[in-house]
Amino acid sequence: MKKRGDLEKRGATIAAMKHAGLIITFGLLFASTACAQPSAMIGTNPPGSVLYVVGNALAKVATESGTARLTVQPYAGSSTFLPMLESGELELGVNNAIDVGLAYNGPGFKIGGRNPFPHTPGLRLVMRAFPLMVAPVVRRDSPIKTIQDVKGKRVTGEYPANLAIWYNVFGELSSAGLSWKDVRVVPVAGLNEGIDALVQGRADVSTYAINGANVRESDASVGVRHGYYPRRVKKEEAAAVVDDVCVVAYDAYVIAGKGASDALVEGLLKAIWNDGAKLAPFHPLLREWSREKMAGAEITIPYHPAAMRFYREHDAWTAEVEQAQQRLIKGGR
């Protein structure tokens, strides 16, 4: 009887060890899968901005897809984290075609006689995300209706953290035969500070992206509206659009720095290619995402090698995109 009991205990022990071994094996497999999933920080504009929302949307979709784990890191503005991408301290970023185009081309390329960006020739494009629509903002009771009405008014400017806005306003003023010298500049650091100056009565005109969270908050607080300034946005199609308006539109980009591995870029692209439809609920502008727009010829920096390979494998790399890629690589604009 004793021997039988010993045998039964021994059998139970072996069974338990086998069971534990299976658990350990599954645990190791799970840990191996998790470790294989590339992870990275993705830089964005500050909270309240459109690009911050986009960064969070990309991070959530990619992480849930299991192909890349992204953590959003907001900065003071899109212009501020470009050097970190160049140095490899930051792997990914959500930015715009203006900032990255000027930074990539360097000081020899100027718009409006200036290019204050540090040269970042290592920047590479992962994908075009959607048209980023930007327009001037005034208080709802303001008499300013057209860009010509801005002459002599207090306009937020300088924008060292978001230099693209300086160029946007420069273009808007130029369309009416005006320049920065024709307005009273209210210096601000970034886009959120600009809208704050408008709400606080320190400025008559500011500029912000369509449907930005801070625009919604400002509209609820004091009542604001986007002014007239080439893409059409219909009345009430977006927050603070009280009449049909014409706005500035340019691409939002997902970009990679020198620290971004091929596996990371491929993982992010795989997630968005397969599950990009999940982006739409995060922000109205993300409804415009499509596979067809991810790779295009109207670009200001060249694509990352892993992105090139991905688009070729998915029949999205056209002859026009290749021509644009080669032109930019060779230093053409």
Q: Are residues 208 and 255 in the same domain?
A: no
Q: What is the pLDDT of residue 285?
A: 85
**Residues 67, 264: Cα–Cα separation, whole Å:** 8
**So what's the pLDDT on residue 110?**
92
- Rounded CA gap, 32 and 197, in Å? 51
Confidence (pLDDT) at 153: 97
Residues 244 and 255 in one domain: no
C-alpha neighbours within 13 Å on the C-beta side of residue 227? 24
Whether residues 169 and 197 share a domain: the answer is yes
In whole angstroms, what is the distance from residue 73 CA to residue 147 CA? 35
- Looking at per-residue pLDDT, the higher value among 319 and 29 belongs to 319
Last residue of a domain, one of 204, 230, 249: 249
Two tokens, residue 300: 């200001």
Helix (H, G, I), strand (E, B) or coil at 204: coil
Query: Is residue 16 over pLDDT 50?
Result: no
Co-location of 257 and 155 in the same domain: no
Pick the last residue of a domain from 213, 229, 249.
249
Closest by CA to 282, choosing from 94, 1, 52, is 52
Q: Tell me, yes or no, whether 9 lies in a domain.
A: no
At residue 219, the pLDDT reads 85
User: How far out from the chain centre does Cα 204 lie?
Assistant: 28
Q: Per-residue b/e over 112-137, b at no fewer than 16 CB within 10 Å?
A: eeebebebbebbbbbbbbbbbbbbbb
Question: Is residue 30 included in any domain, yes or no?
Answer: no
Answer yes or no: are the C-beta atoms of 117 and 200 closer than 8 Å: no
Q: Strands of the chain (E only): list them.
A: 39-44, 69-74, 92-96, 124-139, 154-158, 184-188, 206-209, 224-226, 231-233, 245-256
pLDDT of 1 over the 50 cut:
no
Query: Same domain, yes or no, for 238 and 141?
Result: yes
Q: What is the pLDDT of residue 231?
A: 56
Same domain, 156 and 245: yes
Q: Which of 113-127, 199-213, 221-235 has the lowest mean pLDDT?
A: 221-235
Closest by CA position to 227, among listed 156, 159, 140: 140
Residue 57: its H or E element: helix 50-65
Same domain, 43 and 143: no
Q: What is the pLDDT of residue 132?
A: 84
Q: Which of 205, 228, 249 is the last residue of a domain?
A: 249
State the CATH number of the domain containing residue 315: 3.40.190.10
- Looking at the fold, whether 95 and 57 belong to one and the same domain comes out as yes
Q: Are residues 182 and 142 in the same domain?
A: yes
pTM of this structure = 0.80
pLDDT at 15 over 60: no
- Is residue 315 a part of any domain in this protein? yes
Residue 64 belongs to what domain range? 39-132+251-329
The DSSP code for 205 is B
- Mean pLDDT across the chain: 86
**Where does the pLDDT of residue 57 fall: very low under 50, low under 70, confident under 90, or very high at 90 and above?**
very high
Structure tokens at 137: 């903002």
Q: Are residues 99 and 228 in the same domain?
A: no
Count of domains for the chain: 2
Judgement on whether residues 101 and 182 belong to the same structural domain of the protein = no
**For residue 269, is it within any domain?**
yes
Asked if the structure places residue 220 within a domain, the reply is: yes
- The Cα–Cα gap between 237 and 258 comes to 39
Amino acid at 291: R
Which are the contacts of 5, defined by CB distance < 8 A and separation ≥ 6? none
126 or 130: whose pLDDT is higher?
A: 126
**138 and 239 belong to one structural domain:** yes
Domain membership flag for residue 22: no
pLDDT at 129 over 70: yes
Kindly state whether residue 8 falls inside one of the protein's structural domains.
no
| Residues in a beta bridge with 41 | 71
Residue with tokens 């629509």: 133
Tell me whether residue 62 is in a domain: yes
